[in-house]
Amino acid sequence: MRVLVTGGAGFIGSHVVEALRASGHEPLVYDVREDPGADVRNPASVARALAGVDAVCHQAAMVGLGNGVADAAEYVSRNDLGTAVLVAAMAEAGVRRLVLAGSMVVYGEGRYACPRHGVVRPGPRSVADLDAGRFEPLCPRCGAELSPGLVDENAPADPRNVYATTKLAQEHLAAAWARSTGGSAVSLRYHNVYGPRMPRDTPYAGVASFFRSALARGEAPRVFEDGRQRRDFVHVRDVAEANVAALEAETAPGVLTAYNTGSGEPRTVGELAHALAAACGGPEPVVTGEYRLGDVRHITADSSRLRSALGWKPQVGFAEGMREFAADASA
């Protein structure tokens, strides 16, 4: 297939390009990093890029938690307007296959069980609780402690910040395009992606990047909250292979299918910080008790649907991936 990869010069996109090429496809990079005119919000530019294309792998996005709502307009412009322009141009060009870089942030908090009330959905954590160091969500019905679990694709969406809201809107736009055109749309809901070429030292970088940057400066990684918040850290090459699997799969026309894309091995943020510190030979992490409004406590994936439906499984283990990431000098 001839595949247009928006954001193809970026962190994840560049690995997707490599994986597509290795699988015998012809990837075409569309990215403002390589061509200032390659802006996914530009209808004429996107229309030209789609000429002769069989499928689109849409990686271009503004990512990360950002700065509260101060940059909300920029997020909406880059993520949602950009996606709207893209799917409109795809409809006009007759391109009927789309793989979207989705995100686990659409779920908000992860899956929790109360010993008395079963599966519940706690609301956003209060400033008063966070200031007091009470980081764990409680049962909204009885106030009991909750047990976190894996969230699957059937969980209701509950975006808790601007970025998460734009990622959910991208899925709705892709679903509308699929219904209108009979196209095939897949959203890969990435969990915490890390690996070579991950950007560093920006407000939008992931926690792994922040920790590595601190260690490169000889400083201790600063771990927010108590370090026990759970995430699923998945290697970028595994994510790239998931994109190839989604592009090659026979998927239902006229609908959007979502797949969690994670390692299946929940880890705490504290574990991540200690693993990187050990791999870098740097100082031990410092747990600060600080927090960011809009962060969720626990969010970890059940990626069994992706494994069973598309035959994908992660290949890079946590310890191996952390050693490689610590040694990476390409960012």
Interhelix angle for 207-216 vs 269-280, to 10°? 30
Of the ranges 65-74, 124-133, 178-187, 188-197, which one carries the lowest mean pLDDT score? 65-74
Residue 124's region, left for phi above 0, alpha for psi from -120 to 50, else beta, is: beta
Residue type, 222: R
Among 30, 75, 163, 291, which one carries the catalytic annotation? 163
Catalytic-residue membership of 112: no
Q: Give the containing element (helix H, strand E) for 146.
A: none
Provide the token pair at 279.
């791999």
Domain membership flag for residue 133: no
Domain membership flag for residue 143: no
The residues near 233 (Cβ < 8 Å, ≥ 6 apart) are 191, 192, 194, 208, 263, 267, 272, 318, 321
pTM of the predicted model over 0.75: yes
Of the ranges 31-45, 61-75, 150-164, 170-184, which one carries the lowest mean pLDDT score? 61-75
Residue with tokens 């191996």: 320
User: Total domain count for the chain?
Assistant: 1
Burial of 224 (0-12, 13-18, 19+ CB in 10 A): middle
The residues near 62 (Cβ < 8 Å, ≥ 6 apart) are 71, 74, 75, 78, 79, 163, 166, 204
State yes or no: pLDDT of 205 exceeds 70.
no
Q: pLDDT band for position 328 (50/70/90)?
A: confident
Give the residue among 290, 160, 129, 133 at the shortest CA–CA distance from 222: 290
Q: What is the CATH classification number for the domain harbouring 155?
A: 3.40.50.720
Residue 215's region, left for phi above 0, alpha for psi from -120 to 50, else beta, is: alpha
Q: What is the pLDDT of residue 294?
A: 76
State yes or no: pLDDT of 252 exceeds 70.
yes
* Contact predicate 268/297, CB 8 Å: no
Q: pLDDT band for position 233 (50/70/90)?
A: very high
Give the residue among 216, 212, 328, 194 at the shortest CA–CA distance from 273: 212
Domain membership flag for residue 249: yes
More confident of the two residues 206 and 91: 91
The residues near 160 (Cβ < 8 Å, ≥ 6 apart) are 105, 108, 109, 124, 294, 296
State yes or no: pLDDT of 293 exceeds 90.
no
Residue with tokens 């992931």: 206
Domain membership flag for residue 164: yes
Q: Give the containing element (helix H, strand E) for 147.
A: strand 147-151
Residue with tokens 């792994």: 208
Domain membership flag for residue 12: yes
Mean pLDDT of 163-178: 97
State yes or no: pLDDT of 32 exceeds 80.
yes
State yes or no: pLDDT of 201 exceeds 80.
no
As a whole number of angstroms, the longest Cα–Cα distance in the chain is 58
Q: Which domain holds residue 250?
A: 2-110+151-327
Provide the token pair at 295.
């962060």
* Contact predicate 210/219, CB 8 Å: no
Helices (H), the chain: 11-22, 43-49, 72-75, 82-93, 127-131, 162-181, 207-216, 236-248, 269-280, 304-310, 318-327
Domain membership flag for residue 294: yes
State the distance between the two ends of the chain, measured CA to CA, in whole angstroms.
29
Q: What is the pLDDT of residue 331?
A: 54
Domain membership flag for residue 279: yes
Domain membership flag for residue 124: no
Residue 66's region, left for phi above 0, alpha for psi from -120 to 50, else beta, is: left
Q: What is the pLDDT of residue 123?
A: 86
